[in-house]
Amino acid sequence: MRPFVHPALEDVTLSGVLHALADPARLAILRRLAAVEGDCPRHCSALAPMDMPRSTQSFHFQILREAGLIRSERKGAEVINKSRLPEVEGRFPGLIGAIFAAAETCPMMESKVG
């Protein structure tokens, strides 16, 4: 299996982050990961909507990873994901909080992901 590619923090771009979070499913996945207490990593299937096909899950996690928002690691057959939000916050202060706050005030964003 190919190793996961994670961009260096200096290579994380504003346009990449905004593109990744423009999709309601990816925004919901990242919000679920951010809501986990502490620095606890999570399996892909625990974060994605229950009815989402595995191939679609993989695609969404790939976009989040390439944008620099998550770090993924293989543990046997499982893929474990960990938030990189503290790093992204250092690069773009207030951005993720503003996006999450805006998502809370927009019911359409939540209703699209179940």
> What is the Cα–Cα distance from 41 to 22, expressed in whole angstroms?
23
Average per-residue pLDDT in the chain?
A: 86
> What is the Cα–Cα distance from 19 to 99, expressed in whole angstroms?
12
pTM: 0.85
pLDDT at 80: 85
Is 88 within 8 Å of 68 (Cβ atoms)? yes
> What is the Cα–Cα distance from 77 to 38, expressed in whole angstroms?
24
Q: DSSP letter at 110? A: H
pLDDT at 3: 85
Classify domain 9-103 at the CATH class level. mainly alpha
pLDDT at 39: 55
Confidence band (pLDDT; 50, 70, 90) for 92? very high
pLDDT at 111: 44
- Tens digit of each residue's pLDDT (9 = 90 or more) over 24-65: 999 999 998 888 755 566 666 677 777 888 889 889 999 999
> What is the Cα–Cα distance from 75 to 51, expressed in whole angstroms?
23
Residues 6+ apart with CB under 8 A from 92: 14, 17
The stretch 4-27 carries a mean pLDDT of 95
> What is the Cα–Cα distance from 29 to 72, expressed in whole angstroms?
13
